[in-house]
Every structure is written in C-alpha cells, then in structure tokens.
Amino acid sequence: MSVLLESSSTSAAMRRNFWAGVWRVMKRKPSRMVGAVLVLGFVFMGVFGPMFYPAQLPLDPTRITAPPSWEHWLGTDDQGRDVIALVVTGSRYVLLAALVTAVITVVVGTGIGLFSGFKRGRWDNVLMRLTDMKLTIPGLPLLLVLSTVWKFSSAIQMGLVLGLLGWGGVARAVRSQTLSLRERGFIEAARGLGLPTRHIVGKELLPSMAPYIAMNMLIAVTGGVYAQVGLFFLGVLPYESNNWGQMLNTAVFRSGALQVPSALGFLIGPLLAILLLTLAIVLVVDAMDEIFNPRLREE
Amino acid sequence: MKRLAAVVALLGLATATAACSGGSTNSSGGSGGGGGLFTTIDVLKPGLDASGPANPWAPKGNSFLGYNAMKLGWIKNHLTDPNQFYPGIAASWEIAPDNSSITLHIQPNAKWSDGKPVTADDVKLSLGLASTTGSTAFAVTPGAAGVASDVQVVDQKTVKVSQDMKNPSMKFARGIMDNWVVPAHVWNSLLPADFWDKLKAARETGADADKAREEILAIGQKVLAFAPPKDVSAGPFTLERVNPGEALLVKNKNFYNAANVAPAQVKLLNYNGNEQIWNYLSAGKLDQAGFTAMPSDIMTRIKNAPGSNVIRGFSPVAVGMAFNQSKKPYDNVHVRRGLAYLIDRDQVTKVASPEGGTPALTTSGIHQKPAQEWIGSELASLNPYKHDVAKAEEEFKAAGLKKTGGKWTLADGSPWKVSMRAPATFSDWISAEENIKSQLIAGGVDAEVVTVADYPVYLEELDAGKYDVGFWLMALGPAPYDIFQRLYGAANGWTNVAGKVAHSAPGKGGNWMGSAEEIDVEGVGKINPGELTAKLNAATPEQAKPIMAQLAKTANQDLPAIQLWDYVNTQFTNTSRFTGWPEQDSDLLRLNAGVWIQLGLIKAKQ
C-alpha cells in the first residue's frame, strides 16, 4: 500500500514539475505564448467559428469584390460576401483535413518506423521496401486522377488521402531514430530482462521519441494545410466554396486580385489565416523542443 | 458543330493555371500599308504549341484563322440568314435558288506565298481533305443533311459544288464556304487517286460502304497529323516562327489584297488563363483581343490603359440552366417553372457576366436580339418568369413538393438538393451557379455547386445522364435549326439522320434532357418539338418564322432549360498603333482581327 502511495505521489509530483516546466518554458519567450494562443484560437475557430454565422452567408450583389471597409474589414468576395466570414467558415474544412492528415501521417509513419527499426531483419526489409514504393508515388498526379472520381467535399476524405500519401518520410525518420535508440543501454537492458516487444516499444522507445513525434505531427498539420490549399488554389480539385484554397483560386482567377486592388482583401484573408497558422505552429514547436529536451532549457 | 466548338473555346478561356510569355520580336520591316507589328491572341487557342504544325485541321496546330489559315469565305453570322459571307479565297459565289449548288469564283489574283496561283484544284483537294475530318457538308454519314454530292472543277478559277437533294439543308452553302483551303502542291500526297470514288461509296450503306468509311477515317487521321515542311499560305501572313511564348507571322507579299494589309508582322501571344489576357490588356500590349470573361474592376482597369477601346456587338449564343428530366423532381414542369421564378436572372448576370452578357428577357430558346425578327409580337406574349418567390412557391406546391421547417422537400418528404455542375475552367458559369445556389437556399431549396475537370469531361458525363442540372449553351444562331436543336435536338432525344427524325427514350442514345416526345402547348395544341425543329433545317426564313414561334412558346411553357443570359460580343482593341476598327455593333465583330486585316479595315496610325 505504502509502495503504491509512494509511486502515485511521485508521478503526481513529476506531472506537477512537468507542467511547471512547460509554464516556465512558455513564459521565457512571449512569442511562444503568442503561438499557443494562436493555436488555441485556430482550434476555436475551426470548432465553433462556423456556428457564429448562418449556414448560407448573406450576399450583396451591389458590393462585389468591394475593398475593405468598417462593415467588411477585408472586403467582400465575388458574390458580395464578407471575406472574414468566409475565412472563419472555411477554416473548419482546412483544419479538420489537416488534422486528419497529420494524425494518419504520424500514426502510420511512427508505427511502421518503430516496428521496422526495432524488429529489423525480414520485417524491416518488407516494410522499408513498402515505404520506398510509397515514396515513389507521385502525390499530385495521383490526386489529379482521384479528383475525377471523388468530389473531396468531405474534409475527412481529403485528409485521409493526403495522410496516406504523406507517411513515408516520417516512417523513414522514425526507423532511423529507432535503430539508434535500440542500441542504447536501457533498451539493451530491457531486452536482457526478457521484457516483451510490446513493452519495449510502447514504454521504452515511444516515450523517448514522443517529442519528435509530436513535433512531426504539428509540422504535418502545416503540410496538410499547404497541400490542400495548393490543390484547391490550382483548381485541380472539384469546387468547394468554404475553403481557403478555393478562396485564393476565386480571388486570383475570377476576381483579378493580382490585378485590381479592390479584390486584394479577398486574397489577403486566406493568406493571412495560413500565415498565422504556420507562425503559431512554428512558435509552439520551438517551445516543445525546449520542453522535451532538458539540455536546451536555460535553468 | 464547328460554330459550337468556336463558342465553347471562347468560353473555355476561363481557365486556371498560369504560364507566361516571353521572347522578343523585331517590329521593323514589312511593306505595303506601312504598319508595324500587330499584337493579339488567338481566342480559339489557349497555350501555344511550339511543335504544332502549320495545319489548319490540327487541333494544336499553328494555323491561325484569318492570318495564315484561309477559308473559302467568312461567315457573317447575320441575325437570321446563315448564308451571308465576306469573301475569302472565294471572291464571289452564286447559290442556286433551290440551294442545290454553290458556284465558287476564286480570287483572280490569289497566289500562295510561294508564288504559285490558287486554283480550282486546290479548292477541290481542300474540300476532299475536309471530307476526311469534317461534318456538315462533308459528313460521310449515309443520308446526312446538306451534304455535298459532287465537286466539279468548271475552270481553273471556278468550282461548282452540288448538294445531295435527297436530304437538303438551308445551310448547305454555309457548310461549303466555312472550309479551309490549302495548297494542292503541298497536300496532295494525302488523298489517294481513287479518293472521290471512295467518298461516294462511303455515303452508301452496306459492307463496302463501311470499308470505305474506315479508309476515309484513316486518311482523316493522317490529315490531322500532317506537318507541311514550310507554311505555304494564301492568307495575308505566313508563319515565321513559334516558341512557347509567342507565334510570329510575317506579311505574305503574294496575298491578293496585300496592298491593303497594314501590319508587317503579327505576333500572337501565348496565354493559359483569363488573367494573362487581363494583364496583356491592362498593359496596353494587345492591339486586339476577343471576348474574355472578367469582373467589372478588371474591365475598368483595361479601359484605363492608354488607347484602350471596347467594341460591343451581337454574339449568337445564350446560356441556360438545363434539366435532366429523367431525374426527379425535374420531370415535373412545375418544379422547373418554380425554379425559373426563384432565380433572379438580373442578379445572376450581374455577378457572373457583367461585361459579357445581358439577362435573358424571357426564356424562349432564341437570343433576345434576333428573337423579335423571328417571332415578332409573340415575344411579348411569352411568360417572362420575373423573379417572384410567391409564384415559385405556388409552382412547387402544384408539383406536390412540401415545405417543412422552411425547406422544400420532395413529395414523399425526402430531401431535395439542386446539384448544379459546371466545368472548372468556366469561371462565369461557376460564379453564376454559386449565385443561383445562394438564391435557391434563400428560397428554401437546398443547392450545391460541383465542378468537373474540363469541358470535354463535362459534356461526356452530361451525355451519360450523370447530372441533374447543368449549364447548356443554347440559341446558337443564326440558322433557325441551330437555334432550336440545342433544346430539341440530339441532347433531348431527337436525332435527324437522312431527313428522318428518330426519338430515343430518356437516358438512351445521348438523350440526357428527357423532355416528353409530345407536348401540349397552350394555344398551339399537341406538338412534337423535335420534328418541328428538324423541319427548320430545310425551311426558308418565311417558312421558319411560324415554326420558330411555336417552338419558342414550347420552350417558354415547358422549360427544358431556363435561359439565363444572352452573350454580348465584347471585343478589345487598342487605338495607339492602329485605326480602322469595326464600328460598335458591327457584324464584323463576329469574325476575328485576321479577317478585318485581310479585308483592308485596319490601318496603321500615322
């Protein structure tokens, strides 16, 4: 009983210390706080943002691609709808698709990388050849072909395809990391003790790589945003109105945002959203690096 | 179909991805007319192909209409008469009163750019080449309407072409005149010695005819791929060089009207999307450009460019929102009428085509400009379908639709979503559909817009009956048959082969619109609109008018499509370097600048 109590109080203390450490790291650079606030802001925007607007945004044909004004801070689009409202309502698709992309990239990539690196031998051969094959699949042409079959009107569908196209790099990197870790003393000891593979991979290897995986996940979110926005911008995916990429496409190719200043707000809206999201993730990754890597902490 | 292809290409400019032009051109040189370099784009050819041949039949070739590619004559696209032309290789022509033949008199001074005269043999060979790839007067389908049965060389400057009078067409002369002419001494290796016998055999039925058609099809493939070693043209220019950024043409001193051709050189700039054309025009780079879809702000910017000049005229085409009546609830006329009342066409046009269209006054199947001439006072009696939400609700109720929680559902309570399709490259159509979507949702009708990769895929899937609602070009004048065959032709089940009209059931044989075969029209009685349309093929204008009135009433009452806006031919010219442009509303606007130049219109600014 006393052992149990002791251990639970130890882990509670560790948790307390961890969060205190996180808070210290975050406080050290105000930019990290800004990043965290922005990330939370985007999460809020994606989850609750569309609820603040009607399902069908009101349009005003008398104010088509109007310049910014008090009423419309970033102007209006080619149907006379408020650009900010479009950015907010369009965020859910982009962020959800990016999240799905990141989860699939990280789960599949890490799973294959860990297993392959730890098991080595035949499994490693098979899985790495599979990864190599995946890495050779040209993503854009494949998406072009798929777009003739799928509408990609669901963000989950979009994220699924991008995720399944993006896990190769993570798998390779995680495998290399695993190969290095498995030769370290504590893994050797665990193996010597005859602990099961599940325990060694899950309890010994995975925690050591958690920061790396978490950072990869955040970076995959930005990758997912870039990929889908790029595809919609190029117009290779079927039309979906509530989407930052589609907004950029419409702004440039239908409203002439690169030619006339009145449509510039229409272009700036989604660009600003992408820029802020990327910045937020970079700032949070910077904080995470220090949180998970004690050597970087300036105690 | 060639007209349609041209209109489609014009609209297809609304495309997305970018590229840029480059290269430089020496603007000096040339003789006669005293002009310098004329810069333009070919609205029919987005994306120059530097390796394309100087072959007018090649889909990605470097033969440019009116510049180095010549036709027998240039179709005026008169409001009502399909058989009016400007001279091309044919200086003059006589059409037999019964349309049984056309006699062509070749320009007496016409020479190829290599100095050899243009002769009747060149014309005959060119008409033969057209038969290997062509349609209209050169169809090899047995019994097709308006086909040339005989090409006779009367003398070295005269050719007589006869129509097969078993199934005549009013458009026979147009079918003949609208053809490329190429030099026999460059192209004659493509046609075998027994070609004309083969062609005759191909127009019959039976195994021999099938074999002959196959052989002609094989020759057609060679014609499409043929690359002459050098561009030999009878037009005002010949192709000098082409790179991915531009095509350069230089003046042909042997052209029969060379003294009146002002520019010494013509440069056709490459483009892949509308925005590049907007940039060229805003910078004052282009001396002329055809219609490009654009928002009002871009138009203002273009108008502010030095020397910028906008000329507007009639464009013989309209756009409609067409229904697949084999899908519920579009089989019910009240649903179609309800949607017509619910859509504010003025707003749609303002958003989608502010510079290139005028809202359709009503939905008659005819462009509003020639409608008065065709149907006169009947036009005023048609239902204008003015935007009226209350009337829309009445119609939906009459169709048995139900409104629950502010949303219209099908009669059995299942959800109804108007799913509209458009090709991804047609920005004005997407803009229109997006606006209609908003209007419908505001009226309680759920709606969505889905894009399709490109226009050929769109047409293919539309034809296969995959869509509920799609945009459809209609009112393709000036020939009355062409106007109504878009609503009551093959796409709606009526095929006209060898003068016999057959009807396919909805969903079969390309019938994706699926109107009823017989329609009871108020004040007219029961009619078969497909058969009436087929009659227009051979009718004189006076015979056509009462038929047009009946069909307009049918289209207005039955609404196979809601006519949204009638296109306006908006042309861009620049007065800084050249003058002598066509006047506002000139019928010449329906031809390109190459034709204006060769007719001697354009003059260098002094």
Q: Is the pLDDT assigned to residue B19 strictly greater than 90?
A: no
Cα–Cα distance measured from residue A270 to residue A229, given in angstroms and rounded to the nearest whole number:
9
Q: Give the per-residue pLDDT at B84.
A: 92
Closest CA to B377 of B562, B560, B546, B528: B546
Q: Is the pLDDT assigned to residue B5 strictly greater than 70?
A: no
For chain A positions 205-234, those within 8 Å of chain B (CB to CB) are 234
pTM of the complete model: 0.83
Residue-wise over A145-159: b if at least 16 C-beta within 10 A, else e?
Answer: eebeeeebeebeebb
B149, two tokens:
């049965």
Q: Give the per-residue pLDDT at B21.
A: 29
B16 chain-A contacts, CB cut-off 8 A:
234-235, 249, 253
Asked if the C-beta of B383 comes within 8 angstroms of chain A's C-beta atoms, the answer is no
The mean of the pLDDT values for chain B is: 90
Asked if the C-beta of B431 comes within 8 angstroms of chain A's C-beta atoms, the answer is yes
Average pLDDT over residues B20-25: 32
Q: Give the per-residue pLDDT at B410.
A: 95
B430 chain-A contacts, CB cut-off 8 A:
239, 254
B347 chain-A contacts, CB cut-off 8 A:
61
Average pLDDT over residues B23-39: 54
Is A256 close to B275, i.e. CB distance below 8 A? yes
pLDDT band at B532 (very low <50, low <70, confident <90, very high): very high
Cα–Cα distance measured from residue A93 to residue A80, given in angstroms and rounded to the nearest whole number:
22
Which tens digit of pLDDT belongs to each residue from B57-111? Answer: 998 899 999 999 999 999 988 878 889 999 999 999 999 999 999 999 999 999 9
Low-confidence ranges of chain A (pLDDT < 70): 1-16, 240-241, 293-299
Q: Is the pLDDT assigned to residue B20 strictly greater than 80?
A: no
B459, two tokens:
């047409």
pLDDT band at B10 (very low <50, low <70, confident <90, very high): very low
Asked if the C-beta of B276 comes within 8 angstroms of chain A's C-beta atoms, the answer is no
Q: Give the per-residue pLDDT at A110.
A: 92
- Residue with tokens 């010994």, as numbered in its chain: A204
Average pLDDT over residues B137-159: 89
Residue B273 is nearest to which of A65, A79, A253, comparing CB atoms? A253
Cα–Cα distance measured from residue A153 to residue B216, given in angstroms and rounded to the nearest whole number:
46
Is A252 close to B275, i.e. CB distance below 8 A? yes
pLDDT band at B14 (very low <50, low <70, confident <90, very high): very low
Which tens digit of pLDDT belongs to each residue from A242-262? Answer: 789 999 999 998 898 988 888
What's the distance, Cα to Cα, between the start and end of chain B in Å?
42
Is B301 close to A259, i.e. CB distance below 8 A? yes
Asked if the C-beta of B305 comes within 8 angstroms of chain A's C-beta atoms, the answer is no
Asked if the C-beta of A54 comes within 8 angstroms of chain B's C-beta atoms, the answer is no
Cα–Cα distance measured from residue B73 to residue B580, given in angstroms and rounded to the nearest whole number:
21
Q: Is the pLDDT assigned to residue B37 strictly greater than 70?
A: yes
Which tens digit of pLDDT belongs to each residue from B211-270? Answer: 999 999 999 999 999 999 999 999 999 999 999 999 999 999 999 999 999 999 999 999
Q: A158 to chain B nearest CA, in Å? A: 16
| Other CB atoms within 10 Å distance of the CB of residue A275 | 11
Is B427 close to A254, i.e. CB distance below 8 A? yes
Asked if the C-beta of B183 comes within 8 angstroms of chain A's C-beta atoms, the answer is no
Asked if the C-beta of A154 comes within 8 angstroms of chain B's C-beta atoms, the answer is no
Residue type at A202 in one-letter notation: G
Asked if B226 and B186 touch (Cβ cutoff 8 Å), the reply is no
Q: B22 to chain A nearest CA, in Å? A: 20
Q: Of B203 and A5, which is predicted with more confidence?
A: B203
Average pLDDT over residues B480-497: 92
Cα–Cα distance measured from residue B184 to residue B133, given in angstroms and rounded to the nearest whole number:
17
Asked if B129 and B57 touch (Cβ cutoff 8 Å), the reply is yes
Asked if B27 and B437 touch (Cβ cutoff 8 Å), the reply is no
Cα–Cα distance measured from residue B274 to residue A213, given in angstroms and rounded to the nearest whole number:
44
Q: Give the per-residue pLDDT at A26.
A: 81
Q: Give the per-residue pLDDT at B163.
A: 94
Q: Give the per-residue pLDDT at A51.
A: 94
B351 chain-A contacts, CB cut-off 8 A:
61, 64, 78-80
Residue A260 is nearest to which of B297, B431, B442, comparing CB atoms? B297
CB pairs under 8 A between A and B: 87
B452 chain-A contacts, CB cut-off 8 A:
238
A235 chain-B contacts, CB cut-off 8 A:
16-17, 424-425
A153 chain-B contacts, CB cut-off 8 A:
450
Is B449 close to A255, i.e. CB distance below 8 A? no
Q: Give the per-residue pLDDT at A240.
A: 67
A65 chain-B contacts, CB cut-off 8 A:
295, 297
Which tens digit of pLDDT belongs to each residue from B279-300? Answer: 999 999 999 999 888 888 899 9
Closest CA to A246 of A111, A119, A45, A93: A93
Which tens digit of pLDDT belongs to each residue from A36-47? Answer: 999 999 999 999
ipTM: 0.79
Q: Which are the contacts of B382, defined by CB distance < 8 A and separation ≥ 6?
A: B362, B363, B364, B552, B553, B556
Is B427 close to A249, i.e. CB distance below 8 A? no
Q: A149 to chain B nearest CA, in Å? A: 10
Residue-wise over A203-220: b if at least 16 C-beta within 10 A, else e?
Answer: ebbeeebebbbbbbbbbb
Cα–Cα distance measured from residue B500 to residue B1, given in angstroms and rounded to the nearest whole number:
20
Q: Is the pLDDT assigned to residue B552 strictly greater than 50?
A: yes
Residue among B17, B274, B275 with most chain A CBs within 10 A, to mutate: B275
Average pLDDT over residues B124-148: 87
Q: How far is CA B226 from CA A93, B176, B223, B439, in A?
A: 50, 22, 5, 51
Asked if A86 and A56 touch (Cβ cutoff 8 Å), the reply is no
Which tens digit of pLDDT belongs to each residue from B187-202? Answer: 999 999 999 999 999 9
Q: B351 to chain A nearest CA, in Å? A: 6
Task: Give the β-pairing of B603-604 and B402-404.
Answer: unpaired
Residue A65 is nearest to which of B297, B441, B452, comparing CB atoms? B297
Q: Of B117 and B539, which is predicted with more confidence?
A: B117
Q: Give the per-residue pLDDT at B2.
A: 32
Q: B291 to chain A nearest CA, in Å? A: 15
